[in-house]
Amino acid sequence: MDRTELLARADAWIAAHREEYILELQQIARIPSVSRADLAAPGEPFGPDCRRVLDYALERGRFYGFSTADHDGYAGSITWGDAAHSIGVIAHLDVVPVGDGWVYPPFGATYLPEHDVLIGRGVDDNKSAFVAGLFAMRMLREFGVPMRHGVKLYGGTSEETGMEDMKALLERGE
């Protein structure tokens, strides 16, 4: 398959999965995952809401047939192919606190079709990158694109509070 054909197939795949992508992003964005180290407990170093979003993200990876790993609650990873020799894609699942002045519910992930936009905490920064990475992995796998390396999608839970998630991953050899 040449580049032009691959791009045409990708455009068609994205169009065919557009509504599914929006629904996936809405579901994960509705989890109020504010990173809270002050609420830490075993397996949830950034509080129960970050634990919940991490569990949900890993469940979605398994749902789509990928291997998953929980990195002690600091982050999770979803892998396709050779995990030992993988290309890392990094996104984060935590969000900043809500703040004031919301017209729409901050964790409603409200879709406005007339503007083709989702509104809510985390829909852009950065849960969309996580869902897009998951969908890209699905698309490439479905296309049978030969890969020299695996792909590992990381979802961290502390980007907004000092990137302690990535520090923990590095300490663990990821």
Q: Which of 49, 159, 160, 165 is catalytic?
A: 159
In terms of C-beta distances under 8 Å and separation of at least 24 residues, what long-range contacts does 118-122 make, across chains too? 118/22, 118/25, 118/26, 118/29, 120/29, 120/30, 121/29, 121/32, 121/95, 121/96, 122/28, 122/29, 122/33, 122/93, 122/95
Q: Which two tokens stand for residue 103?
A: 């017209």
Give how far Cα 140 sits from Cα of 18, 55, 67, 133, Å.
16, 24, 16, 11
Residue for token digits 């409603």? 108
**Would residue 159 show up in a list of annotated catalytic residues for this protein?**
yes
Q: Which of 24, 44, 94, 160 is catalytic?
A: 94
**Would residue 55 show up in a list of annotated catalytic residues for this protein?**
no
Give how far Cα 53 sits from Cα of 12, 56, 95, Å.
30, 5, 11
What are the residue numbers of the active site? 94, 159
